[in-house]
């Protein structure tokens, strides 16, 4: 077997899916997890169980981490930093861009290369069509290990700054998590009125997937946002702000949580107060990016 050995540390749903995909592709895989039982299924399929973090690090030059956050990596590897020289750490755990940059520095101090990644699909999709992963860090190191990393998902390399992959990951998850909360909030609104969720949710999904038709491929909006242009009077901040107020009042009357509609209404209120009411709703960007 001339495929690169890979160690996977962290065997939640994601780490297990990654290890399984790497094994299917023929890579020798070593696994370690704090709760050892989570490795059992993979070991039964042929993975090597590392008895300790030290053994996991010794198992491969390429070490993929799939943990809750970056502090978990420091908990695991902190005690064995002396073994990291010459290793490549690919951390696919979620955290902030700054945590990635600090971790890259920390790894460098101990002679290891550090690649940051963010997996953009749920565990069952790992290794399948449509799976993709943001990466950043040293390009030569990334290129060397790209064949193995491709097994997890299509790599999208963003640049040398180790923070970039987490920046893109968190920005995408910002869209994702906010949309998910809005779906649940809206469902709570209709069920509070006694309407079954099934009568609402399929249509709500149409509203969600209708957004691209309204925005196009995003490039024109990107240009306008960066230029500070908010043309059009079909959906002004004033009109949309009135609707934001109606959503908040409907939510209050229904007795459901109002944090999300309060935040949205606040965007419109401040945009209008700043004098952008008659501009397109995209003028919210001015308030949002200013952080006040
Ligand atoms: P889980 O929370 O299920 O797994 C987390 C892993 O981290 C477990 O192996 C856990 O060990 C380990 N861990 C956490 N804290 C520590 C610690 N202090 N010391 C040692 N080990 C620790 O997460 P997932 O597998 O779902 O996700 C992993 C990463 O992938 C996360 O950053 C997540 O945001 C990201 N991700 C997840 C997606 C998903 O759909 N699940 C999609 C895209 C990205 P133990 O088993 O002992 O608890």
Q: Do 10 and 154 share a domain, yes or no? A: yes
Same domain, 282 and 215: yes
Q: Which of 160, 186, 211 is the last residue of a domain?
A: 160
Residue 153: count other Cβ atoms within 10 Å of its Cβ: 24
Query: Is 155 in the same domain as 176?
Result: no
User: DSSP characters for 1-39?
Assistant: --SPPEEEE--SHHHHHHHHHHHHTT--EEEE-SSGGGG
Residue 1 lies in a domain: no
Q: How far is the CA of 11 from the centre of ligand 1 (A)?
A: 7
Average pLDDT of 197-224?
95
Read off the CATH number of the domain in which 253 is found.
1.10.1040.10
Among 142, 160, 178, residue at a domain's last position: 160
Indicate if 35 and 128 belong to the same structural domain. Answer: yes
- The answer on 192 and 95 residing in a single domain is no
ipTM above 0.85 for this complex: yes
Q: How many residues does the chain have?
A: 292
Ligand 1 atom nearest 122 alpha carbon: 40
- Is the pTM higher than 0.90? The answer reads yes
125 CB less than 6 Å from ligand 1? no
Q: How confident is the model at residue 156, as a pLDDT? A: 98
- Domain tally for the chain? 2
Of the three residues 135, 160, 185, the one that is the final residue of a domain is 160
Structure letter (DSSP) for residue 96: -
Q: How confident is the model at residue 292 (pLDDT cuts 50, 70, 90)?
A: confident
Domain that holds residue 40: 6-160
Outline where the chain has alpha helix (H). Answer: 13-24, 40-44, 53-59, 70-77, 97-109, 139-149, 164-192, 201-209, 211-215, 219-227, 237-254, 259-271, 284-290
pLDDT for residue 2 is more than 90: no
Nearest residue by C-alpha to atom 9 in ligand 1: 10
Q: Are residues 26 and 146 in the same domain?
A: yes
Q: Which residues contact 261 (CB under 8 A, 6 or more apart)?
A: 185, 244, 247, 248, 251
Q: Is-contact 157 136, C-beta < 8 A?
A: yes
| Confidence band for 211, pLDDT divided at 50, 70 and 90 | very high
Q: What is the mean pLDDT of the chain?
A: 97
Q: Model confidence over 151-196: pLDDT tens digits?
A: 999 999 999 999 999 999 999 999 999 999 999 999 999 999 999 9
Q: Which of 53, 67, 80 to mutate to test the pocket of ligand 1 (most atoms within 8 A of CB)?
A: 67
Q: List, for residues 6-48, the tens digit of each pLDDT value.
A: 999 999 999 999 999 999 999 999 999 999 999 999 999 999 9
Ligand 1 atom nearest to 95, measured from its CA:
32
């Amino acid at each position: 077997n001339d495929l690169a050995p890979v160690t996977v540390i962290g065997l939640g749903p994601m780490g297990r899916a990654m290890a399984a995909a790497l094994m299917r592709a023929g890579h020798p895989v070593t696994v370690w997890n704090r709760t050892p039982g989570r490795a059992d299924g993979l070991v039964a399929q042929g993975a090597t169980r590392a008895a300790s973090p030290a053994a996991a690090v010794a198992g491969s030059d390429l070490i993929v981490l799939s943990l809750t956050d970056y502090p978990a990596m420091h908990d695991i590897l902190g005690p064995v930093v002396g073994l990291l020289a010459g290793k490549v750490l690919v951390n696919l755990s979620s955290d902030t861009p700054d945590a990635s940059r600090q971790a890259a520095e920390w790894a460098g101090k101990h002679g290891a290369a550090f690649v940051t990644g963010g997996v953009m699909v749920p565990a069952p999709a790992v290794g399948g069509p449509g799976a993709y992963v943001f990466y950043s860090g040293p390009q030569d190191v990334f290129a060397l290990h790209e064949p193995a990393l491709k097994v997890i998902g299509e790599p999208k390399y963003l640049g040398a700054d180790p923070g970039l992959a987490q920046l893109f990951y968190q920005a995408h998850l910002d869209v994702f998590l906010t949309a998910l909360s809005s779906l649940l909030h809206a469902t709570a609104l209709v069920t509070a009125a006694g309407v079954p969720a099934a009568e609402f949710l399929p249509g709500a999904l149409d509203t969600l997937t209708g957004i691209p038709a309204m925005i196009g491929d995003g490039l024109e909006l990107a240009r306008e946002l960066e230029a500070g242009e908010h043309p059009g009077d079909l959906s002004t901040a004033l009109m949309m702000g009135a609707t934001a107020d109606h959503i908040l009042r409907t939510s209050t009357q229904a007795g459901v949580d109002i944090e999300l509609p309060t935040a949205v209404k606040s965007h419109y209120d401040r945009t209008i107060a700043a004098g952008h009411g008659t501009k397109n709703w995209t003028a919210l960007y001015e308030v949002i990016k200013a952080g006040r």
